[in-house]
Amino acid sequence: MMELIKHPWPWYIAGPLIGLMVPAMLLLGNKPFGISSSLRHICAACVPARLPFFKYDWKSEGWNLVFVAGVVIGGFIAAHLLSQQAPVNINSKTTEILQQEGVKDFSGLLPGDIFNFGALLTLRGFVFIVVGGFMVGFGTRYADGCTSGHSIFGISTLQWPSVIATCCFMVGGFITTWLLLPYLLEL
């Protein structure tokens, strides 16, 4: 059984299991699937500011905080207790392109050349980690949800804004990967 859990599952098994979260959460508690709103709940609970955005009954959304805690704990268990300690298996063409751009460390989930604490103190690391993180957060707030919320929950419940948001996420990813990434890697 442990060997089954330790190996990555193919998309045709993992995808439907993730997709089944939507009807399960709707049937069991009439709750939407999404992660990004949990940051708002944490801020409303912990930040004593009187900002109107944080003035709501965050306690009624406590289930979301438990869900996110489960995601974090599950990620920790998967990374530290169930991982094979092998490099992530990515397409050889992608590896070749990134190596041409100077990225050599593929030993973890993210390229270690870019995503490590020491890189944070470089211009490239700052752009990737801080500016990139800000843009993800801003985009999530601007789109009123994250990729999991829109792409998994929103589309499955036939919400037109989620289709538009998902298309914009994809277009932004393609533009960043093919047009911006080569310049960003030169920093």
Domain limits, the chain = 1-83, 90-187
Confidence of residue 1 (pLDDT cuts 50, 70, 90): low
pLDDT of 74-96, one tens digit each?
889 887 887 766 777 788 898 88
Over the chain, what is the mean pLDDT?
84
What pLDDT digit, counting tens, does each position of 134-158 carry? 998 888 888 888 888 888 888 888 8
Residue 68 tokens, joined:
């996110």
Distance CA 159, CA 153 (A): 9
Q: In sequence order, which ranges of 30-159 are alpha helices (DSSP H)?
A: 37-46, 62-80, 92-100, 123-125, 132-142, 147, 155-156
Instruction: Examine the pLDDT at 167 and tell me if it is beyond 90.
Output: yes
Residue 118 clears pLDDT 70, i.e. is over it: yes
Per-residue pLDDT band for 4 (boundaries 50, 70, 90) equals: confident
Q: Nearest CA to 185 among 83, 103, 79, 67? A: 103
Amino acid identity of residue 39, one-letter, is: L
Rounded to an integer, the average pLDDT of 52-56 is 81
